[in-house]
Amino acid sequence: MMKTKLRRAVLKALLNLPPRLLRRVVGPAQTNDRGDLLELQTQALLYLSEKGGIPRLHTLPVAEARAQTVEDASLVGGKLLVMANVTDLLAGDVPARHYDPGTGAKSPLLLFAHGGGFVVGDLDSHDRFCRRIAVEAGCHVLALHYGLAPERPFPAATDDALSAWRWARENAEKLGCDADRIVIGGDSAGGNLATVTCLRAQEEGLPMPMGQLLIYPGIDMTCQATSHQTLGKGYFLESEMIDFFVGHYLGEQDPTHVHASPSFTPSCAGLPPAVVVTCGFDPLRDEGDAWAERLAREGVPTRHRCEPGLVHGYINMDGLVDEAAQANVRLADDLQALFAGTVT
């Protein structure tokens, strides 16, 4: 813990150098294939990670990669906010954590699935983010720790997410929430699970969440979008890491199955209103952009925003990257819009 605190203090000091001096440290500005400028503190964080020899997750045994993910989140994440009540529980059979910021009875609820390529990530890796969005959006959050690959490969995570959705709907009142005001969301793999849960609920005739909060979601497991080639190296989430995740999650299973790659669904009609947020320097950018465009084209009320200077995973970088913190405020605004029914 002391080592992490010291590393965090050093990183924070470096990233808060005057911009002109920080630019001299990290080198020339970087742009992507669209001409977007990589945000300076983000570039510095990537530079320092490389120079510091931080191991890439895909080079580690799975258990070590999971531990590294939690440590990294603690290192770069924002302040651990204190709130009225935080409780670990089971959402049916799925481990979960309930965040109650003290908003009173009949509050809206975000059912949140963490990112991590279906292999890493847990309730602790996204604890800071869940606390912050609960406070800033004025809602309860129920965070899920679905089964991870390779121990529980596809479709286990989708089964867990659907089971947790059923449980949240049936037990909303016990949580102090309104069963008719539940948004499902997640980042990366969690964004995939959020939209797959909506597809499965539609297939099975279940009640639908009132909205989807999809943060740089993985939508197409074939990984053929152009951004996988143009942004697959140097921006935190890299092509080799994606291969590591997909290999553990799918193995030899069909990557075009709609419960793995919702982009292959024959229709989006009837899905809940969606907020889709992508990043300018993310290999998943183009598939997320395409998904937002398709949702809107097929009649789903959709708000789409690309954070042009940020990278995959930015929601956990808000303790060191000012623009990531501001982007998280925008996410809270998006969530409030979903709860208010004003996403059009």
Name the pairing type of β-strands 94-100 and 140-144. antiparallel
Hey, what are 44's tokens?
């510095």
Count CB neighbours of 205 within 10 A. Answer: 6
Query: Would residue 160 show up in a list of annotated catalytic residues for this protein?
Result: no
Contact 309, 38 (CB under 8 A): yes
Of 36, 312, 318, 334, catalytic:
312
Cα(96)–Cα(76) distance, rounded to whole angstroms?
23
What is the rounded CA–CA span in Å between residue 43 and residue 209?
37
Listing DSSP states for 23-48 in one string gives: HHHH-S--B-TT-PBPPHHHHHHHHH
Backbone angles phi, psi at 249, to 5 degrees: -75, -45
Side-chain-side CA neighbours of 210 within 13 Å: the count stands at 20
Bridge-based pairing of strands 177-187 and 107-113 is parallel
Residue 188 annotated to the active site: yes
Is 267 known to be catalytic?
A: no
Task: Give me 184's structure tokens.
Answer: 């499902």
| CA distance linking residue 36 with residue 127, whole number of Å | 30
Backbone dihedral angles phi then psi of residue 66, each to the nearest 5 degrees: -65, -45
User: Could you tell me which of 114, 103, 118 has the C-alpha nearest to residue 142?
Assistant: 114
Based on its alpha-carbon atoms, the radius of gyration of the chain, rounded to whole angstroms, reads: 19
**Annotated catalytic residue, options 74, 107, 188, 227:** 188
Q: What pairs with residue 221 in β-bridges?
A: none
**E strand intervals along the chain:** 85-91, 94-100, 107-113, 140-144, 177-187, 211-215, 274-281, 302-311
Strand, helix or coil at 277?
strand
Of 160, 282, 286, 334, the active-site residue reads 282
Active-site positions?
Answer: 188, 282, 312
